[in-house]
Structure 1
C-alpha cells in the first residue's frame, strides 16, 4: 500500500509499471518518496515562515498545507515530464529548466528552516538591532524637540543674566552710599549728608527695580519651564509610543536579514542538502539507463502517435477523393439539355413572380 502510494507520488503510469520488474517499481517508489517528503518539508517550512508573519497557527498551517501541495505538484510534474530518449544531450536540454525550478524550490524550502535552526543566533542579532534602533529613534525624536528646548533654556539664561546684572548694579550703588557714609569715597566727609541721601535714594530705587525685575523674570521663567516640561513630556510620549514598533521588529524579512549577518557556511550547507534532495529524482532519471518502463511508455506513446497520423492521413485522402468525385460529377452534368431546360423554366417562373409582386406593390401605393 505504501509502495503504491509512493509510485503515485512519482507521477509514473501505474498500469505500465505493474508489468515491470520489482526493481523498476522500487526505483519509482523511491523517487515518489523523495517527492512526498520534500513536499512535507515544504509544508513545515512554509507553516513556520507564515507563523512569523501572521502569529496565528491555524492560518499558518492552512496556507502551509496549500504550499506543500503546490510543491508536491511541481516536483511530481518535474519528475514525470522528464522523458528518457537515449541521448544524454537531449535529456540535459529537457532537464535544464527543471533543474533551475528545483533550485528555486530548494531555496524557498531551506530558508524558513534555516530561520528555525538558527533562531537563537537570529534573536541575538535582532536584539542588537533593536537596541540600535531604540537609540537612533530617541535621537531622531530628540532632534525634533531639542532646538525648542535649547532656545527656551537660552531665554531662561538671558533672564537670569538680566537679574544678575541688575544685582551687580544694586550692589555697586550700595557700596557707593556706604563709602559716602564712612567718608572713604565721594566727598570724603564722615556722616550721612545730602550726598549720602542722594546716593541712598538712588540705591533704594534700583533695589526696588531689582525686586520687580526678579518677580517679572521669575514669572517668565516659570512659564518657560512649564513649556520645557511639556516638550519633554511629549518627547517621552513619542519615545514610548514608538517603542512597540521596534519591539515588534522580528518579522520574516527582519529574520532573513539577521540570518544574512551570521556566518554563511552553515546556511549554505543546509541549502545544499535541500538542493540535493530536490534534484536527486532528476539526476536519478538522467544518470540511469533507459529501462523497461521507459521502453513501454515510449511504445504506448508512439502507438498513439502512429494511430493519430494514420487517421489524419486517411481523412486527408478521403477529402481529396471527395473533391475529385464532385468535380467529375458536375462536369458530366454541365452539358445536359434536360438540366438546362429545367433551370430555364424555373428562372422564367421566378421572373414572372417578381414582376407580379412588383405590380401589386405599386398598385397598393396608388
Structure 2
C-alpha cells in the first residue's frame, strides 16, 4: 500500500508500471517518496513562517497545509513531465526550466527552517537591534521636546538671574549703610546720623523690591516648571506608547534580515541540503538509464501519435477528394438551361417581394 502511494506521488503511469519489474517500480517509489517528504518539509517550513506572521497555530497550519500541497503538486508535475530520450543534452535542456523552479522552491522551503534552526542567534541579533532602536527612538522623541524644555529652562535662569542681581544690589546697599554706621566709609563719622538713615532707607526700599521680585519670579518659575513637567510627561508617554512597536519588531522580515547578519556559511549548507532534496527526483530520473517503463511509455505515446497522424492524413485526403468531386459537379451543371431558368424565376420572385414590402413601408410612413 505504501509503495503504491509513493508510486502515485511520483506521477508515473501506474498501469504501465505494473507491467514492469520490481526494480523499476522501486525506482519510481523512491522518486515519489522524495516528492512526498519534500512536501512535508515545505508544510513544516511554511507553517512556522506563517506562525511568525499571524501568531495563530490553527491559521498557520491551515495555510501551511495548502502550501505543502502546492509544492507536492509542483514537484509531482516536474518529475512526471521529464521524459527520457536517447540524447542526454536534450534531457538537460528539457529539465533546465524545472531545475530552476526546483531551486526557487528549495530557497522558499529552506529559509523558514533556517529561521527556526538559528532562532537563538536571531533573537540575540534582534535584541541588539531593539536596544539600538529604543535609544534612537528616545533620541528622536527628545528632539521634539528638548528645544521647548531648554527654552523654558533658560527663562527660569533669567528669572533667577534677576533675583541674584537684585540680591547683590541689596547686599551692596547693606554694606554701605553698615560701613556708614561704623564710620569706616562715607562720612567716616561713627554713629547713625542723617547719611546713615538715608542709606538705610535706600537699602530697605531695595530689600522690599527684592522681596516683591522674589515673589513674582517664584510664581513665574513655578508656572514654567509646571510646563516643563508637562513636557517631560508627554515625552515619557510617547516613549511608553512607541516602545511596544519596538518590542514587537520580530516579524518574518525582521528575522530574515537578522539571519542575514549571521555568518552565511551555515545557512548556505542548509540551502544546499534542501536544494539536493528538491532536485534529487529530477536528477535521479535524468541519471538513471532508460528502463522498461520509459520504453513502454514511449511506445504508447508513439502509438497514439501515429494514430493521430494517420487520422489527420485521412481527413486531409478526404477533404481534398471531396473538394475535387464538388468542383467537377458544379462545373458540369454550370451551363444547364433548366437550372438557369429555375434560379432566374426565383430571383424575380424575390425582387417582387422586396418591391412590395418597400411600397407598404413607404405608404405607412405617409
Query: TM-score, normalised to structure 1's length?
Result: 0.95
For residues 184-225 of structure 1, what are the alpha-carbon distances to aligned partners after superposition, in whole Å with 9 as ceiling and x for unaligned? 111111121111111111111000000000001100100011
- Measured in 1, the distance between the counterparts of 2:53 and 2:360 equals 86
- Measured in 1, the distance between the counterparts of 2:261 and 2:363 equals 101
1:254 corresponds in structure 2 to 254
**How far off is 1:306 after superposition?**
1.1
**How far off is 1:347 after superposition?**
4.7
2:202 corresponds in structure 1 to 202
Instruction: Specify whether residues 176 and 289 from structure 1 end up closer, same or farther in structure 2 by C-alpha distance, changes over 3 A only.
Output: same
- Measured in 2, the distance between the counterparts of 1:140 and 1:180 equals 60
**How far off is 1:337 after superposition?**
3.0
Of residues 329-338 and 239-248 in structure 1, the stretch that sits farther from structure 2 once superposed is 329-338
User: 1:114-193 counterparts in 2 under 5 A?
Assistant: 114-193=114-193
2:21 corresponds in structure 1 to 21
Of residues 314-323 and 1-10 in structure 1, the stretch that sits farther from structure 2 once superposed is 314-323
Check if 1:91 corresponds to 2:85.
no
Check if 1:311 corresponds to 2:308.
no
**How far off is 1:61 after superposition?**
0.2
Instruction: Specify whether residues 346 and 59 from structure 1 end up closer, same or farther in structure 2 by C-alpha distance, changes over 3 A only.
Output: closer
**How far off is 1:151 after superposition?**
1.1
Instruction: Specify whether residues 165 and 101 from structure 1 end up closer, same or farther in structure 2 by C-alpha distance, changes over 3 A only.
Output: same
Instruction: Specify whether residues 239 and 359 from structure 1 end up closer, same or farther in structure 2 by C-alpha distance, changes over 3 A only.
Output: closer
1:265 corresponds in structure 2 to 265
**How far off is 1:350 after superposition?**
5.3
1:320 corresponds in structure 2 to 320
1:110 corresponds in structure 2 to 110
Instruction: Specify whether residues 83 and 158 from structure 1 end up closer, same or farther in structure 2 by C-alpha distance, changes over 3 A only.
Output: same
- Measured in 2, the distance between the counterparts of 1:170 and 1:365 equals 119
- Measured in 2, the distance between the counterparts of 1:361 and 1:237 equals 88
Of residues 47-56 and 309-318 in structure 1, the stretch that sits farther from structure 2 once superposed is 309-318
Instruction: Specify whether residues 188 and 81 from structure 1 end up closer, same or farther in structure 2 by C-alpha distance, changes over 3 A only.
Output: same
**How far off is 1:349 after superposition?**
5.3
SS of residue in 1 equivalent to 2:184: coil
- Measured in 1, the distance between the counterparts of 2:240 and 2:160 equals 34
Instruction: Specify whether residues 162 and 102 from structure 1 end up closer, same or farther in structure 2 by C-alpha distance, changes over 3 A only.
Output: same
- What do you get for the CA RMSD once the two structures are aligned? 1.9
**How far off is 1:365 after superposition?**
9.1
1:221 corresponds in structure 2 to 221
Of residues 259-268 and 31-40 in structure 1, the stretch that sits farther from structure 2 once superposed is 259-268
- Measured in 1, the distance between the counterparts of 2:243 and 2:22 equals 64
Instruction: Specify whether residues 357 and 51 from structure 1 end up closer, same or farther in structure 2 by C-alpha distance, changes over 3 A only.
Output: closer
SS of residue in 2 equivalent to 1:82: coil
**How far off is 1:82 after superposition?**
0.8
- Measured in 2, the distance between the counterparts of 1:298 and 1:215 equals 107
2:279 corresponds in structure 1 to 279
2:100 corresponds in structure 1 to 100
SS of residue in 1 equivalent to 2:128: helix
- Measured in 2, the distance between the counterparts of 1:185 and 1:365 equals 134
- Measured in 2, the distance between the counterparts of 1:363 and 1:199 equals 132
2:62 corresponds in structure 1 to 62
Aligned residues: 366
